Amino acid sequence: MTRPAEGYSLIVFDWDGTLMDSTPTIIAAIQAACRDLGLPAPPDEAAAWVIGLSLQDALLAAVPTLQQSQVPDFVARYRFHYLTRDPQLKLFDGAEQVLASLAERGARLAVATGKSRAGLDRALKATGIGHYFDTTRCADETFSKPHPAMLLEIMRELDVDPAGAVMVGDTSHDLHMARNAGIHGVGVTYGAHAREELASCGPQALVGSVRELDAWLSGRVAALAR
């Protein structure tokens, strides 16, 4: 995969752990739901690993003792604990400025997330940044990560060639999805997965902060008329 000389024309962002500082909240909600149902709660690392997957896939992976018959109750308890913390969630410092800068330069922006449509719409409304994105895809609308469907659908909708697209995310699920879709991936190490795991996915770059992400993208974005 080689980047065209004029730069990336499409930047696709993961949401949780990449734009929004929500990793600790998701971990706490999974663990609290386990306690409500009398199930062994996963350690932080195991709960963090499933972030980015669709909710049902994530819960079954994080809580291997969860029975299929318990899934509805578990989902309800997870959502209760998550939503009680939801109003306090914030974007990472500088995240909106990165989006504004990219949009000003003419880049097309999108979101590919393991959140539900209802969850992403709620987050976009609360943060007020929905207008930066040309399109978004959620796990309850198509295949979950690391299947490439979300990225392929976004590129098809926006008529962007894979060579001109890059996926930015904080998990190996994001980077595997990028590779499966034939596009570049950039891993951010301030989210859910450890730097070593991200590095094993062969990303184009690893960045340790929103400021580093801004610097890396700033010289690699094609200036296009919107």
**Catalytic residue list:** 14, 16
Q: Which two tokens stand for residue 144?
A: 């979950």
Q: Which two tokens stand for residue 176?
A: 């595997």
Per 3-state DSSP, what percentage of the chain is helix, strand, and coil (rounded to 5)? 50, 15, 35
Residue 59's SS3 state is: helix
CA dist 157 to 94, 104, 116, 176, 217, Å? 28, 21, 20, 21, 23
Bridge partners of residue 166, in order along the sequence: 11, 184
Residue type, position 59, single letter: L
